Amino acid sequence: MKLKSLEISGFKSFADKTMIEFMPGMTGIVGPNGSGKSNIIEAIRWVMGEQSAKDLRGTKMSDVIFGGTNKRGALNRAEVAITFDNSDHYVNSDFSEIRVTRKLYRSGESVYQINGVESRLRDIHDLFMDTGLGRESFSIISQGRVESIFNAKPEDRRGIIEEVAGVYKYKQNKEKAQKELSQTSDNLSRVADIIHEIEDRIEPLAEQSAQATDYLSQKERFDTLDKARLALTIHAVDVQAEQVKEKYTDQQKQVATAKATLSQINDMLSQKRQERVSQQLKRDQLQNDILKLTQIHERMVGAQNLSQQQTTTLERDIDEVTRSTAAVNEKILALSSQIAPLQQQESELKQQKSILKQKLTQFDDMTQSELKSQLQADIEKNRHAYIQIMQDIAALHNAKVNDDKQLAQIISRYQTLSERLKNETGIMSQAQQEVANYQPNDAAQQDVLALKQDVAKRQEQFDHAAKAYKQAETNWYNTLNDLNKVRSQHDALTAMDDYAGFYQGVRALMKPQVRNQFVGIKGVVAELLTVPAAYTLAIETVLGGILQQIIVDQTSTAKSVIAYLTKNRAGRVTILPIDTIKPRHLNGLEQARRMAGFIGIAADLVTMPEEMTAIKTNILGHIVVAKDLNSATEIAKANQYRFRIVTLDGQLINAGGSMTGGATQKRGATILSRQTEIATLTQKITDLAEQSKSQELELQAQRRDGENIRESLVEAQTKLKSANDDVQKVDYELQRKQDTLQQQKRVVQALEFELKDIESQQEELATQLQRCELELDEKQAQKRAQELESQELSRALESASNKAQSHNEDKVAIQTEYVTLTGKLETVTSQLAILRNQQQELESQAAGLTVKRNDLQEKLTATQNDIATEQQVSETVEKLAKIQKEHDDTSQQLTIITDNLSVLETQFAKQQETLRSVMALESDLAAQQARLTTQNENLLAQLESQYDISDSQGLYQQLADLNLETVTDQLKLIKRSLDEIGNVNIGAIEEYEAVKQRFDFLTQQRDDLLSAKDNLLQTIDEMDEEVQIRFKHTFDAVAQHFGRIFTQMFGGGRAEIKLTDPEHLLTTGIDITAQPPGKKFQQMSLLSGGEKALTAITLLFAILQVRPVPFVVLDEAEAALDEANVARFARYLHEFSGETQFIVITHRKGTMMNANLLYGVTMQEAGVSKMVAVDLDNMAETAS
């Protein structure tokens, strides 16, 4: 087996797709530090299943994806594919070439493939297990692995020998067996705990089961007598109810007569009461009229007296207000005469003040001191502007000098680059001519293209076939799963006793030996009754316990069976002899049959053997089946609730109108439905088995087709690989020339870009110089303007100083006159404001007095108009006398009506008392009748709910010869017996059977677990023995070769490896001691760094002697060796290269010289690794 190639894409620094092909012998990989050499080793370890990001020099697994550089963006996927030549089938696989691929996406999705087929990580681990090529094997020595050998603890070093001995699978199997052993021990503990718990329960449950059996026997006798008691009591209640019904009818007639008489008296009373109310309303109205007229008369007389007094007062007030108004008007005229002169004086003073203010304003505008200050400020501002302009001129001059220097430098640089660009362009033209003259192998390219298309087509066919196979396999597994589930359900139902769920007595009689003894037993109603699935729930609901009744041929058989049960205390049953059971039928169902929801008589919907027709009609002939509860309610109501009705969903309407219904949360298999379900499941098993067989045959055919497609795909891939190799060899020189051309183009482009940048800088500097000269001229002009302005400001300042003194004297005289005039104006304005306020107050008083006088005048007019005349008073008195007479007549008529009402009310009260007495008697009879009806319904409901009997009349006919008192006495005796038994656990019977069965099962499970534990211990011992044998044999062989090779590698001396605990080969560690030439024998930890490294390498060569591996990957393993030891190391590698393929990452010249093929790793682009190959053997042949 050989390592053929490694393909890397997006893994760490290998951003571009890189193919590394490995030849037989030794392949060296060289390159500067940080170029990505070790990434190749890590790619090999990663693709072979490495899961530790830390061992790959990362913090998380996504760190292996190319993370980008300054010029390249990060990638979203890393992919590595490694190809092995397995023509010798070193790896246990049918393929002669194995290609393992691993992909990782930044989303976290990971893909593993073996020869293009998606696989699991475990598949890859299993592929390389115990081959010496695993990700942790000694065939891949990463940086630091050599140091880890001599720095490791002795116990850790044993892993090296174990890997060589090929015991990894035994260790895995042992760990699996130990886990199973632990689980088995846990299961044993749990089973032992459960058995211990159940052992304490069996004996008490056995006692409780026997007690419960006795209780059920007594309870059955009690139930028989209780049914008789209920039937006799119902009959007695029916007789008493009929008697009460006759009395109730007579009493109803008496109540009707009394109600009619009372109604006549009540009508007369209503009439008289209406008349009385009418007269009372009339009298009340007249009384109100009298009261109103009396009040009006009194108001008229009082108003005449009051109006005369108010008129006098109002006339006096009007005169007083008139006089006050005249006085106020006189004061207003006096104030107006004072205000007029003051207003004239105020106007003159304001005019004089305005004139003086204008003069002062002129003086202010002409203030010379302020003018002088302004001129001084302007001079200072002019001086600062002049200084700034001088500074700007100096700065512009300096900038111009600097720009001239830069422009000269840029011109010189431009000339140099132009000359270089001319030379580089010539080199690029030469490279273009070489590429153009190179003739590629077009025919080979066409062959590769055709082969790629063929591979893609076959790959698509293979993917489609694999997908179809996987889907067919999934469908097959699903069918098998469904088949197992159905079989489990079928087995669970068939595993049950045929009479599981039946009463104890029924199970006892249905045993084969008992049925052989009593040949007249036909069977249980449930198994003899055939019910369509649609009616199963309805029939189960209405029959209930009847389904467990036993059908026999005749009464004598029934007696014999009962005697057997009594003798053996085997339980109780209800027996239906064919020769005595009579059919029961419902009559008058014509209307019901026509109603919506009516399905039929229950007996007509099921079948039984012909000889049992009477029994079928007896138990179901009086039952009607309806579609739903609404339909059942309507049918029952239309037929006066005289028979039972059951709906398809199991709701019941009993005779008499009571209803039973509802549903439980979970409905399990019932007596009737179990057989139907078993038949259904049997058919399902047959169908699923046929479907599974068909799918399996289809799956086998698809698998054969897939294998054929895969073989053709592998063949096409092999052809494509060979063609690709030919094309790559032919086009290698073209690729090199194209790379050189691309590099030269980049140099030319860089020079052109730099020249364009220099031209841009040159233009910008020229523009900047021109702009600087223009600004300099402008600043010079501004400098001259500032000098002229400064001279003018100086002359103006001298003139302003001379005029300032004469203006100040005139301004002081005008200011004095202005202040005096302002004081006078303020005095006049104040006096005028006071007089105007007084005038406003007097005008307000005058307006108020005018309003008051108008109000008084209006009141006087209204008072004079309100005084009533004498004629109005006389008319009111006459009207009052007339109404008083009418009121007296109405009161007399009301007295007569009241007397008549008293007589009628007395008669009404007597008749009411009579009606109450007869209604009370009627009510008593009705209550008695209702009580008897309720008692009857309760007894019927009790009979039906407790014993599932709806025909109480039929039961009474069977028990007519019994006496109620005798039955009651017997019930008391049995009740006392039940009380003596006390509380029992009815469930103990079935619980005891279940617990006993579980105890037996768990005991068997315990025995099986103990047997499994012994087998696991034996297996572990056998694996430990095999591991010890392999470990010891491999260790001895490695130790022998280690000592010999050490002497060869060191040129003398000796070394050995030994076990730290030879007595315990499963846990012993390994010590390494060495004696280099000229030194004493010592532990490996005391050796020098180079000696340690060479000793570890010696151990590697010893392992290769014992367990040769197809290839070994070394990452700077000889870094710590001197030149002499490097030469020995390289020669030894060369000796082994005939059997083992070496891939060596190295910096050492001696190692490179012995390599057959060198790969160089470079980073032409920062952060991106590239590969360059050199075949040293071919070079040597060419040189020779």
37 has binding-site annotation:
yes
Tell me how far CA of residue 1153 lies from CA of 1050, 1111, 1127, 1156, 1180, in angstroms.
21, 19, 9, 8, 11
Give the helix ranges, DSSP H, for 11-100. 37-47
B/e letters for 1035-1074, b = 16+ CB within 10 Å, e = fewer, are bebbbebbbebbeebbeebebebebeeeeebeebebebbb
Taking CA 253 as the corner, what is the angle to CA 252 and CA 254, rounded to the nearest 5 degrees?
90
Which residue pairs, CB below 8 angstroms and at least 24 apart, start in 861-864?
863/307, 863/310, 863/311, 863/314, 864/307, 864/311
Selection from 1130, 1060, 1059 nearest residue 1101 by Cα:
1130
The reply to whether 977 sits in an annotated binding site is no
Q: How far apart are CA 981 and CA 970, in angstroms?
A: 17
Among 1136, 1146, 1144, 1070, CA closest to 1109: 1136
**Which residue shows structure tokens 């505008």?**
365
**Phi/psi class of residue 1122: alpha, beta or left (left: φ > 0; alpha: ψ in -120 to 50)?**
beta
CA pair distance 1102, 168, nearest whole angstrom: 20
* Residues 6 or more apart whose Cβ sits within 8 Å of residue 427: 744
> What span, in angstroms and rounded, lies between the C-alpha atoms of 481 and 421?
78
Structure tokens at 1064: 């315990």
Q: How far is CA 235 from CA 239, 240, 698, 932, 951, in A?
A: 6, 9, 75, 11, 12
The number of beta carbons lying within 10 Å of the beta carbon of residue 512 is 7
Tokens for 500, please give them: 């599981």
Which helix (H) or strand (E) segment is 712 a member of?
Answer: helix 671-866
1011 has binding-site annotation: no
Burial of 44: CB neighbours in 10 Å, binned 0-12, 13-18, 19+: buried
Secondary structure letter of residue 14 according to DSSP: B
Q: Residue 1160, annotated ligand binder?
A: no
Residue 35 labeled ligand binder: yes
Of the candidates 646, 658, 640, which has an alpha carbon nearest to the alpha carbon of residue 622?
646
Residue 950 marked in a binding site: no
8 A C-beta contact, residue 175 and residue 1003: no
- Taking alpha carbons only, the member of 950, 717, 764 closest to residue 227 is 950
Location of structure tokens 């830069």 = 406
Task: Confirm if 586 and 643 have CB atoms less than 8 A apart.
Answer: yes
**What angle do the packed helices 671-866 and 536-543 form, to 10 degrees?**
90
Contacts of 343 (CB under 8 A, 6+ apart): 832
Q: How many CA atoms lie within 13 A of 31 on its CB side?
A: 24
Residue 1171: count other Cβ atoms within 10 Å of its Cβ: 18
Instruction: Please name the residue ranges forming H helices in 8-134.
Output: 37-47, 121-128
**What are all long-range contacts of 494-502, with beta carbons under 8 Å and residues at least 24 apart?**
494/678, 496/674, 499/524, 501/670, 501/671, 502/548, 502/671
Integer Rg of the chain from CA? 64
What is the four-CA torsion angle of 857, 859, 860, 866, rounded to 10 degrees?
A: 150
Question: CA-to-CA distance for 649 and 633, rounded, in angstroms?
Answer: 14
639 residue type, one letter = N
Those residues whose C-beta lies under 8 Å from the C-beta of residue 1134, and which sit 6 or more positions away, are 25, 26, 1154
Residue ranges of the annotated binding site are 32-39
Residue ranges of the annotated binding site for ATP are 32-39
